[in-house]
Structure 1
Amino acid sequence: MVNVFRSPARHGYAVEVSPFIPNRVACASSQYYGIAGGGTLLVLEDNPTGISLVQSWEWSDGLFDVSWSESNEHILVAGGGDGSLQLWDLTNHSAPLRVAKEHTQEVYAVDWSQTRGENLIVSASWDQTAKVWDSGLKCLSTLRGHEGVIYSSIWSPHIPGCFATASGDGTLRIWDVKTALCRLAVPAHKAEILSCDWCKYDQNLLATGSVDCSVRIWDLRNVRQPLSQLQGHNYAIRRLKFSPFSKTVLASCSYDFTVRFWDFNLPQPLLETVEHHSEFVCGLDFNLHVPNQVVDCAWDETVKIYTPACLPPVSV
């Protein structure tokens, strides 16, 4: 069964399930495919009768990513095409709590740290920088080193003060917040990398998704070659996510309109191809509370919540 929410004239760029409320999802979307017009941040709830709208806010430019606070169930941060980050509060139905506009080009990725006691935000921009912020959007540091657009930034779920970025320069980079230095630069693909994610079970494992249509799994202890390479998509991979319930399972979504599920530990790693969108699939997340439930969004103006057949529900 697939639950569907339709948002007319809003093209989905990112989805994230609340870390606090199992059936609550945020979606960052844009008018006119993010090329022009404004953006809308949606907060949705998945109920037995369908997906309902809890709250929505309008922004003057396209919104490309969203992340929930890990310390307050009402707070979200979004990244915009005008170079801004905005803090939004579900108890405030009008303007954002705070806006920071220090990037000089589109903010394409935002992520809220999960390690205990940190409460930091990282953003990545087309201006080739990543910035680290406190929970009130005060910029703490700007990290430079990429030679292309940064499309993805994600905190390590294991190592405090450590995040990864993926760039149009073909590299995956690992950063140390305390020193504001790049600790490792991996020439991961010979094409632009649009997404990266950390394994939830192993601090040394990351995945990258590229314009070359491949997903590569990397072990940071030996980056001379990928641990695994997953082929199957026909166009660029826009986003990928490791499962929070299985070390070797991950999902990827693509400009080929599909979401694919993989187990890189198997001889035939492709588990399933889900073809339920009619446009680019840009947003993807696993539900942390409901095993194997997945949320995705696409440029076809829909958000979909479902459990793929290859990942049956399990009790926890």
Structure 2
Amino acid sequence: MAAGGGITRAIRIPGRHGYAVEFSPYIPSRLACAASQNYGISGCGTLIVLEQNDAGLVIIKSFDWTDALYDVTWSEVSENILVTSSGDGSLQLWDTSKPQGPLQIFKEHTQEVYTVDWSQTRGEQLLVSGSWDHTAKLWDPSVAKALCTFTGHENIIYSTIWSPHIPGCFASASGDQTLRIWDVKSPVSKIVIPAHQAEVLTCDWCKYDQNLLVTGAVDCSLRGWDLRAVRQPVFDLHDHTYAIRRVKFSPFHASILASCSYDFTVRLWDFSKPSVLLDKIEHHTEFTCGLDFSILLPGQVADCSWDETVKIYSPSCLSLPPS
């Protein structure tokens, strides 16, 4: 079943396999993709800035890096600034208004950096990164050195995501099967949740409830967690047939989320309804790794895949009135 209710815009990027995609928080028509040669195993990476118009998707800027790029996040203070994370253990800060390489490189992780996120809470200009070296690190983009290193995970950190509600608070998901909640004032996690009996590859915060998070794992399930009572998940969603690579809560509907998977699909869910699965989108022919909701255009979704394509679409199930 393909996405209904809106035009699908797509672009093929030959020789680049997509790992992450994120809409600009400033310009509704713009998004960025972090992609890599050779499925991220060898070769270089490319940051691709895309613009959507009536004709489809077009590349307006691209920047190569010497190693695979795994994640990308937009600055919350400038429409031209992005940060990417790389297989060589570094983060790169780019200014898309300038043609040269990165403005700044942050390199303290000792292994692949799989995740990076820019804080969205007011008054903060902070980055958090997570690595295969089992650590998360806190960065001020104006300072060359990490402000803090967070230890405790016993395996690869696949996802680090800032709370959109609580300043200085972020979540991390790891191959050690846990979801952890951190306060930047302490290097030790304040909540440890044994979320799945499998590697946890992704997590996200609900935009409408500061206590609600979701995790996605190699066991093909999505689980919701209320931080006030973490013994049992508040929802447990099953329909994917391979590992869930990324999950995102809707910015416009309190109980809707989307997930993408190594089963090539994107699925949309409403955990408040008896029939939780809203849509299954089958428009890729390889692992689907990147996923995002637009915060400026209600109902618009972007994804990217190892099949060398980026797609933007508006599933009909998202045409509901916003929460």
1:93 to 88, 91, 99: 99
The aligned residue for residue 163 of structure 1 is: 170
Deviations 1:3-39 (A, max 9, x none): 0011001000000001111111000000000011000
Q: Distance in 1 between matches of 2:20 and 2:101?
A: 21
8 Å contact from structure 2 (residues 253, 322) kept in 1: no
Q: Secondary structure at the residue paired with 2:274?
A: coil
Higher normalized contact order (CA 8 Å, seq sep 6+, divided by chain length):
2
- Structure 1 position 129 matched with structure 2 position 129: no
Q: Secondary structure at the residue paired with 1:33?
A: helix
TM-score by length of 1: 0.98
Deviations 1:103-136 (A, max 9, x none): 0000000000000011100000000000000022
8 Å contact from structure 1 (residues 239, 282) kept in 2: yes
Q: Secondary structure at the residue paired with 2:42?
A: coil
CA-CA distance at 1:50 after TM superposition: 1.0
Q: Distance in 1 between matches of 2:231 and 2:300?
A: 34
The aligned residue for residue 301 of structure 1 is: 308
CA-CA distance at 1:314 after TM superposition: 5.5
1:58 to 46, 58, 64: 64
Consecutive aligned runs of 4 or more in structure 1 exceeding 2 Å deviation: 313-316
Q: Distance in 2 between matches of 1:276 and 1:95?
A: 33
8 Å contact from structure 1 (residues 14, 284) kept in 2: yes
1:229 to 231, 236, 261: 236
- Structure 2, unmatched stretches of 5+, are 1-6
- Structure 1 position 187 matched with structure 2 position 199: no
Q: How does 1:279-294 map to 2 (within 5 A)?
A: 279-294=286-301
CA-CA distance at 1:181 after TM superposition: 2.3
Q: Secondary structure at the residue paired with 1:28?
A: strand
**Count of paired positions:** 316
CA RMSD, aligned part only?
A: 1.1
TM-score by length of 2: 0.96
8 Å contact from structure 1 (residues 307, 313) kept in 2: no
8 Å contact from structure 2 (residues 252, 322) kept in 1: no
Q: Distance in 2 between matches of 1:315 and 1:125?
A: 35
- Structure 1 position 150 matched with structure 2 position 118: no
Identity %: 64
